Amino acid sequence: MSESFDLVILGSGPGGYVAAIRAAQLGLKTAIVERERLGGICLNWGCIPTKALLRTSEIYHYMTHAKDYGLSAEKIGFDLEAVTQRSRKVAGQLNAGVKGLMKKNKVTVFEGTGTLTAKDTLVVKQGDKDVELKAKHIIVATGARARDLPFAKADGKRIWTYRHAMVPPEMPTKLLVIGSGAIGVEFASFYNDMGADVTIVEMLPRILPVEDEEVSAFMDKALTKQGIKLLTGTGVDGLDVGANGVTAKIKGKDGQVTSTEFSHVIVAIGIVPNTENIGLEALGIETDRGHIKVDGYARTNVPGIYAIGDVTGPPWLAHKASHEGIVCVEAIAGLKPHKFETWNIPGCTYSRPQVASVGLTEAKAKDAGHEVKVGKFPFIGNGKAIALGEAEGFIKTVFDAKTGELLGAHMVGAEVTELIQGYVIARQLETTEAELMETVFAHPTLSEMMHESVLGAYGRALHI
């Protein structure tokens, strides 16, 4: 016996569950299949629980710097298990929230592992039982998992992926973080603020390599000042796990290999898409280096089968997955959505200080042939930043000198992950420098720096 739906979605991360809600809104009879927990990596093991941990380390940092604010705090400490429990509780609350949303929108949830067996058929394995689902349309939203080092698989004891690092059995004393993308830098920031001795190793010449070069350079200085050791242009050639820790063979810029002891290692070298054993090969669904190939409406090469989110490639972000899902479903329902594009997707790193950006870096804008005007405003010139005791950072804007188009914005400092959306909206509305300069920003706010940065690009900054 099989059940029939207009749409079946395989995987319930921010790609899958958001697509399901939109499909239900548009009147499609929808089912979602999940083998683990509703909400996917983002809610359960990614975006949300890491931000809960980072909130703890931020507050802990303020407590250890209470004096700076005229306060006194004595006997400051923490209970690692309680810290982790809070993060898991937050994830649990959101997981329950997604369950509620599925119910409210009448999306049928199938718990189990799904496999595509035909263009219109998906089989869900639920223990010993197989449930067959028939669908006019199937969206693959199976996400991705942590990439292991080829020479040392994460064991959860000494060598951790993000999953282990989120529920640490003990506090690392000396931590090696391999990889300096957003995930690596966030964990480095968390554990450093909680008191671990942290080293980051990055193969490329600079940390946060996708960000503007000035942002990477600023973060390099800021994290070094906080006590994190940064080894760029450096690789890890081997990890030997012993009784009390891990010996890492670190190959420096000069090619010399040195051995250093660490208590724990976090491997944050990227992700692997979940495309195995879901029936793609038998149906002839094309992939490119593991990622499912799709067009701007998330259509694969096989009619009726679509893919969204991490499984289709970068940027590997929750909001990218959700947006791709909405475009996909609206096209299925016969609406005429704008096709999915990546030009205006913001990226955020929630370390201390935070990093946020959208659009082209200065170097990429120049490479693309733009003559640019660049504005840069420092946090030290902003009253609110000084009042907050957060005077480190800057906001950089990159404009096309001829048209006034805002090509990119790059921020580092307190709360910039909340600020970036202002520029994202501006770019979506094709705003030019003139409208941004005319806009009134509330005082005192950090957002005034967004205004000043634009003014600065045209030689008109006021407070510097």
CA angle 374, 379, 382 (to 5 degrees): 105
Helices (H) and strands (E) in the chain, counts: 14, 24
Length of the chain: 464
The answer to the question of residue 94 lying near ligand FAD (CB under 6 A) is no
Q: Which of residues 386-415 bind ligand FAD (CB under 6 A)?
A: none
Site track for ligand FAD across 229-268, x = CB under 6 A: ----------------------------------------
Record the tokens describing residue 198, joined without a space: 């942290």
Q: DSSP assignment, residue 220?
A: H
The answer to the question of residue 142 lying near ligand FAD (CB under 6 A) is yes
Record the tokens describing residue 218, joined without a space: 């600023």
For tokens 């670190």, the residue is 250
Reference 447, options 398, 400, 411; nearest CA is 411
CB of 125 to ligand FAD, least distance (A): 8
Reference 292, options 269, 317, 309, 315; nearest CA is 309
Nearer to ligand FAD, 144 or 398 (CB): 144
Among 13-21, 195-203, 366-374, 447-455, the segment contacting ligand FAD (CB under 6 A): 13-21
Residues 104 and 269: their CA atoms lie apart, in Å, by: 38
Residues 298 and 282: their CA atoms lie apart, in Å, by: 20
The answer to the question of residue 46 lying near ligand FAD (CB under 6 A) is yes
Q: Report the SS3 class of residue 372.
A: strand
Site track for ligand FAD across 171-210, x = CB under 6 A: ------------x---------------------------
Residues 203 and 234: their CA atoms lie apart, in Å, by: 5
CB of 14 to ligand FAD, least distance (A): 5
Reference 46, options 90, 16, 102, 82; nearest CA is 90
The answer to the question of residue 385 lying near ligand FAD (CB under 6 A) is no
Nearer to ligand FAD, 35 or 55 (CB): 35
* Catalytic residue (choose from 61, 443, 451, 463): 443
Quick one: which of 16, 168, 181, 378 contacts ligand FAD (CB under 6 A)? Answer: 16
Contact indicator for 246, 240 with CB cutoff of 8 Å? yes
CB of 23 to ligand FAD, least distance (A): 14
Q: Is 443 a catalytic residue?
A: yes
The answer to the question of residue 13 lying near ligand FAD (CB under 6 A) is yes
- Give Cβ neighbours of residue 250 (< 8 Å, ≥ 6 apart): 201, 231, 234, 235, 236, 237, 257, 258, 259, 260
The answer to the question of residue 116 lying near ligand FAD (CB under 6 A) is no
The answer to the question of residue 36 lying near ligand FAD (CB under 6 A) is yes
How many residues touch ligand FAD under the rule CB under 6 A: the total is 35
The answer to the question of residue 279 lying near ligand FAD (CB under 6 A) is no
Number of Cβ within a 10 Å radius of residue 151: 11
The answer to the question of residue 278 lying near ligand FAD (CB under 6 A) is yes
Active site residues: 443
Residues that bind ligand FAD (CB under 6 A): 10-16, 33-36, 40-42, 46-47, 50, 113-114, 141-144, 162, 183, 274, 278, 309-311, 316-319, 321
